[in-house]
Structure 1
C-alpha cells in the first residue's frame, strides 16, 4: 500500500496531467510537507496550507493524490460560493430548459454531486449528474478546497459538522450518509492566501502547514530551489530545463523589485510572479541560454512591477534598470 510517510525529503515527483503550462512539471517534497500530510491523514483532520501565491499549495494536493493513486477532487472557492456547493448542486435552469424542449426528465441528471458527496460515498454519487459518465472507481480521494479565504465565515463554519461527524446530507433527495465502508477516509487539503481571517473553531479542527521561505536559506536561494523543482534537471528523466544563471538572476530581480514595492507600501511580487516569468522564458527560448537571459531582462518588469505609478510618485517603475549586468543581445539577435 502506498503511504505518504514513505515519501523521501527532497525527492522530486513528476506530475501528470498538469494544467500549469508544462507537461513535465514536478514537485519537490520537503520534510514539513511530508510530516504535515502524514499527521492530517493519520488524525483524520483536514490540512490547512497557508502561504502566498506560488508557494506550491495547490501543487501539493496534486502531488499527494498522484503519490497515493487517489482521485483529486478540486473546488476553487469564490465570493458567491455557497456552503452546500461542496456537497451538491441542483441545475434548475437546465431542468427547466429540458422541460420546455419537451425532453424526458430524469432528475438524477440535474443533481450534481459536490466534492464531499463524491469522496464520502462514491457509489451513491456515481448515480447522479456528470459522475455517471466515464469515471472509474479508485481507492480514495484527495479533496482540494482552494482559496477558502475568498468566502465568508459561513463556509468554514459549515464544514465543522462534516469534519466533526463525518456525515453528509442532501436534503432534496432525503439522503444522509457517512463514509462508505469500502472507501478510504478522504484526505482534505484546504488552501488560504490569508486574505480573510478564518474562524478559530475551524482552525482548531485543522492540521496547519505554513509554506514560507526556509529561514536557513536566503530568499534568493529559496526561490532558486523552487525554480529547480519546476525547471531543473531530474536524474533519469529528460525534460526541458532552465539553467542556474537564469533561475538566479530572475530570483535576484524579484528580490530587488519586492524590496522596492514594500518600501513604497505596495503589494510585493512573490513566487507566483517568479514562476510565471520562468514559464514564459521556457516557452520563448527552450534550450537557448543566451536567449533566455535576454528575454528575462526584457520581460521581468512586466511580470514583477504591477502597480501603477502616479505622476510625481516614488513608487517602483517598469522603466527601472534590471539587476543583471551580463552583456546580452536582444532576443532573436546574436550576442556580440
Structure 2
C-alpha cells in the first residue's frame, strides 16, 4: 500500500499561511514543500538544519496540521536513550506497587502495565499500543480513534549519543522492532511509515551513514534577511488597521524592527557570538502589539526602548560596544574615534 503523496500535499503553496494548534502560524516556503514531498515519497526521515529560531520545530507542527496526522514530539537531552523512541519500562511504578503489596496494599501488576509505548510503537501499531501502560484514563472514544497517519518530531537530535540515530536507522530500515514483553515484531499495521522530522542545532556532528539516509533541508532565507523577516511578520500579524496611512505606519514597524535585527545580527556574527533571528523578531512584535494594540505610533516608541533586550542577549562582549544593551556605549566609541 502506497500513499498518494501529491494528493496529500496538493493544497500546499509557497507563502501560504498554516494555522497551528498552539495559536501560531507557519508560512510555507517552496523549499519546505519540496523537501516534504521527497521525505514522504521516499519514506525517509526529514532532517531539518538551521540556526536556532529559524522554525525547525515549527515545521513538524505545520506538517502534522497540513496532513491532519497525529503529532508526537520527542525532545532529546544528553540523558535520552534510543529505546525511549520505542518503549520504556516504568521501574519506579513497579517498585512502588511491590512495596504496596508488602504493606498489605495492591500488588505488582502484569508486565504489560509497566511497559510504556514510545512514539514509534504508537505510530506502528496504534491499537496494539493501547494494551500497554496505564489505561485507567482512556475512554472508549480514544481507543477507537485511529489516526490516518503519524508525524514524529525528534527535536535536537544532536544532543544525543550516536546510538540514537543509529537505532532509528535500523528500525526504519527493517520496519520493525521487538515487543519487549513477548518479543513478537511490532510492524506498521498499514505498511506505511510515519513521517519522521528531525531537527539539529549542529552542536554535535551526526553520523555520516545517518545523513546519507535522510532527506536534508537547511532552513535559510531565499531573499534578503530584512525582507524575510518582514514577510514572516506580516504572516504572524495580518493587518486590521484602517485607513491606509495607519497600515503604512504598521509596515514601518515591521521594517524598522527587521533592519535593527539585521544590524545586530551582522555585529553578533562578526563578534563570533550567537546572532538573533526570526524567533526574537516575532517575540518583539508580539510584545509591541500587546503593549500598544492598534497604535503603531506608540509601538514605534516601545520598539526604540525594547529592541536591545530582544536582540542583544550575549552580555558584555569585549571590544564590541555595538552589542551592548547600554544605548550610549556605541555612541561613546564613535565619538572617541572622531
TM-score range, shorter chain: 0.7 to 0.9
Aligned counterpart in structure 2 of residue 189 of structure 1, from 189, 197, 200: 197
TM-score (norm 1): 0.84
Q: State whether structure 2 residue 112 is matched by structure 1 residue 108.
A: yes
Structure 1 position 243, deviation (Å)? 3.0
Instruction: Determine if contact 2:98/2:108 at 8 Å carries over to the other structure.
Output: yes
Structure 1 position 290, deviation (Å)? 2.2
Runs of 4+ residues deviating >4 angstroms: none
**Unpaired runs of at least 5, structure 2:** 241-246, 331-338
TM-score (norm 2): 0.83
Q: State whether structure 2 residue 308 is matched by structure 1 residue 306.
A: no
Which residue of structure 2 aligns with residue 238 of structure 1?
none
Which residue of structure 2 aligns with residue 30 of structure 1?
29
Per the alignment, in what secondary structure is the counterpart of residue 210 of structure 2?
helix
Which residue of structure 2 aligns with residue 334 of structure 1?
none
Which residue of structure 1 aligns with residue 237 of structure 2?
231
Instruction: Determine if contact 1:163/1:205 at 8 Å carries over to the other structure.
Output: no
**Unpaired runs of at least 5, structure 1:** 235-240, 324-336
Count of aligned positions: 307
Per the alignment, in what secondary structure is the counterpart of residue 74 of structure 2?
strand
Alpha-carbon separation, structure 1, partners of 2:253 and 2:201? 28
Q: State whether structure 2 residue 207 is matched by structure 1 residue 199.
A: yes
1:62-119: per-residue Cα shift (whole Å, max 9, x none)? 1111121110011011111000010111111122123323224334332211111111
Which residue of structure 1 aligns with residue 18 of structure 2?
13
Which residue of structure 1 aligns with residue 188 of structure 2?
179
Deviates more, 1:121-130 or 1:132-141: 132-141
Instruction: Determine if contact 1:54/1:271 at 8 Å carries over to the other structure.
Output: yes
Alpha-carbon separation, structure 2, partners of 1:314 and 1:28? 35
Alpha-carbon separation, structure 1, partners of 2:131 and 2:180? 17
Q: State whether structure 2 residue 327 is matched by structure 1 residue 320.
A: yes
Structure 1 position 209, deviation (Å)? 0.9
Alpha-carbon separation, structure 2, partners of 1:275 and 1:59? 13
Alpha-carbon separation, structure 2, partners of 1:286 and 1:98? 54
Q: State whether structure 2 residue 218 is matched by structure 1 residue 210.
A: yes
Alpha-carbon separation, structure 2, partners of 1:233 and 1:314? 37
Aligned counterpart in structure 1 of residue 138 of structure 2, from 124, 133, 137: 133
Which residue of structure 1 aligns with residue 291 of structure 2?
284
Per the alignment, in what secondary structure is the counterpart of residue 283 of structure 1?
helix
Q: State whether structure 2 residue 124 is matched by structure 1 residue 120.
A: yes
RMSD of Structure 2 on Structure 1 (CA): 2.4
Alpha-carbon separation, structure 2, partners of 1:130 and 1:284? 45
Deviates more, 1:165-174 or 1:198-207: 165-174
Q: State whether structure 2 residue 48 is matched by structure 1 residue 49.
A: yes
Instruction: Determine if contact 1:4/1:64 at 8 Å carries over to the other structure.
Output: no
Per the alignment, in what secondary structure is the counterpart of residue 36 of structure 2?
helix
Instruction: Determine if contact 2:155/2:200 at 8 Å carries over to the other structure.
Output: yes
Structure 1 position 263, deviation (Å)? 2.3
Per the alignment, in what secondary structure is the counterpart of residue 62 of structure 2?
helix
Which residue of structure 2 aligns with residue 237 of structure 1?
none
1:42-121 paired onto structure 2 within 5 Å: 42-101=41-100, 102-106=105-109, 107-121=111-125
Alpha-carbon separation, structure 2, partners of 1:278 and 1:321? 24
Aligned counterpart in structure 1 of residue 8 of structure 2, from 3, 6, 14: 3
Alpha-carbon separation, structure 1, partners of 2:181 and 2:305? 57
Instruction: Determine if contact 2:112/2:181 at 8 Å carries over to the other structure.
Output: no
Alpha-carbon separation, structure 2, partners of 1:264 and 1:195? 19
